[in-house]
Amino acid sequence: MTDLQFGVVGCAGRMGINVLRQIAGTNGCAITGGSERPGHEAIGRDLGELAGLEHLGLAVEGDPREMFERASVVLDFTMPAATLAHAALAIETKTNLVIGTTGMTAADDAAIAQAAEKIAIMREGNMSLGVNVLAQLTKQMARMLDDDFDIEVVEMHHRYKVDAPSGTALILGRAAAIGRGVDHDAVAIGGRYGITGERRKGDIGYASLRGGNVAGEHTIVFAADDERLELTHKATDRAIFARGGVRAARWLADKEPGLYGMADVLGL
């Protein structure tokens, strides 16, 4: 049986290197290429050596097109503008795409949904099994607890993360909104500072902490008078996201065009 051929854009980044290692260590999967933005210092380096693996004889590419043409699925954990360009390229090359990029706008979301009419796209802000189970539990708790319970989402990440709140925090907040039967964007409140006034009943609040090398910690709080429920997930290694990404890529390889999530991959 032929191995599935996976490409990685942003292959020299923290997540890209973890994804390369995960592909190499997964039976039935093979690295077909990796790319970086033009001018990146990693271009020309051997992918295996870049990821701390054996020499693969595959150099980091500055133009991802040929990699897209070779790959069954490309995995993208980059930046919004790059991801939109990769989605357009995936349409041209008829390559399925796994997207773990966060910080995207409503217009970006619409562009990805439009691309998914032509290719299969699996998009998720967090691909760990634990987080996706947590989202299901959050939805159930929000459904069972009325708005006497205030909902707050607290997240912490490493000092290098550029977007807030995290994609995972938004997954949890949106799950809570679904459980409550409310429009998330109408009740979401970002970081508070200064004289903010009293908390509005029914809001879903977000607090973002940044520091150190924290891979990702998320807590969703349900706080009522005299009692509080908290659900927490802590990631200690980015490898869990890479594992989920490769699992998603294997699942997506033979899928028809459409926009999928980890709930589809995991059967939740």
Please state whether the predicted TM-score (pTM) of the whole model is above 0.75: yes
How far apart CA 170 and CA 176 sit, in angstroms, is 10
246 and 183 in one domain? no
* Total number of domains constituting the chain: 2
Q: What is the pLDDT of residue 1?
A: 59
Q: What is the pLDDT of residue 268?
A: 78
193 and 134 in one domain? yes
Q: What is the pLDDT of residue 156?
A: 97
Calculate what percentage of the chain has a pLDDT beyond 70. 100
Each residue's pLDDT tens digit, 122-141: 999 888 989 999 999 999 99
Catalytic residue positions, numbered: 157, 161
Q: Among residues 130, 85, 79, which one has the least CA distance to residue 100? A: 79
111 and 137 in one domain? no
How far apart CA 139 and CA 173 sit, in angstroms, is 9
69 and 180 in one domain? no
Query: DSSP letters of 147-201?
Result: TTSEEEEEEEE-TT--SSS-HHHHHHHHHHHHHHTS-HHHHEE----S---SPPT
Q: What is the CATH number of the domain that holds 230?
A: 3.30.360.10
φ, ψ of residue 120 in degrees (nearest 5): -85, 125
pLDDT beneath 70: ranges in the chain:
1
19 and 94 in one domain? yes
Q: What is the pLDDT of residue 203?
A: 97
Please say whether the beta carbons of 89 and 64 come within 8 A: yes
32 and 142 in one domain? no
Q: Which residues contact 226 (CB under 8 A, 6 or more apart)?
A: none
Range of the domain at 209: 129-235
166 and 111 in one domain? no
